[in-house]
């Protein structure tokens, strides 16, 4: 994609702790978004991941190419969702990797 898509993400350690927090916090009723508190765009995430892996960040993938490889699933890869963990923030969950 063009890299402007919002991409919900979360560090595995924070997500594991968040599930425990949700289980132990009686004031949480209903669904909870298990994501980091700072949404990022796909291009930002790709650059940060590439830096951590000490690998180059490749140019954006064209939709048609991914559509040929992944079929209908390509729509998911190009989707944009700006998700905020409102319930986690309201109940005082402390992120280690925001």
**Along the 98 residues of the chain, how does pLDDT read in single tens digits?**
788 999 999 999 999 999 999 999 999 989 999 999 999 999 999 899 999 999 988 777 888 888 999 999 988 888 899 999 999 999 999 999 99
Instruction: Print the domain residue range for 40.
Output: 6-90
Residue 97 falls inside a structural domain? no
> Total structural domains in the chain?
1
**Distance (Å, rounded) from C-alpha 98 to C-alpha 87?**
15
For tokens 């064209």, the residue is 62
pLDDT of residue 94: 97
Residue 19 falls inside a structural domain? yes
pTM, entire model: 0.78
Beta-carbon contacts of 98 under 8 Å, excluding residues fewer than 6 positions away, are 36, 37, 38
Residue 83 falls inside a structural domain? yes
pLDDT of residue 74: 87
Residue 59 falls inside a structural domain? yes
Residue 1 falls inside a structural domain? no
Tell me which H or E stretch contains 40.
strand 40-41
Burial class (CB in 10 A: 0-12, 13-18, 19+), 24: exposed
pLDDT of residue 33: 96
């Amino acid at each position: 994609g063009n890299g402007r898509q919002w991409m919900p993400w979360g560090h595995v350690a924070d997500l594991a702790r968040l599930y425990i927090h949700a289980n132990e916090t009686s004031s949480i009723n209903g669904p909870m978004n298990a994501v980091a508190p700072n949404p990022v765009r796909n291009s930002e995430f790709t650059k940060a991941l590439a830096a951590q892996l000490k690998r180059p960040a490749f140019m954006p993938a064209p939709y048609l190419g991914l559509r040929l490889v992944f079929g209908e699933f390509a729509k998911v890869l190009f989707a944009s969702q700006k998700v905020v963990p409102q319930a986690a923030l309201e109940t005082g969950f402390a992120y280690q990797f925001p």
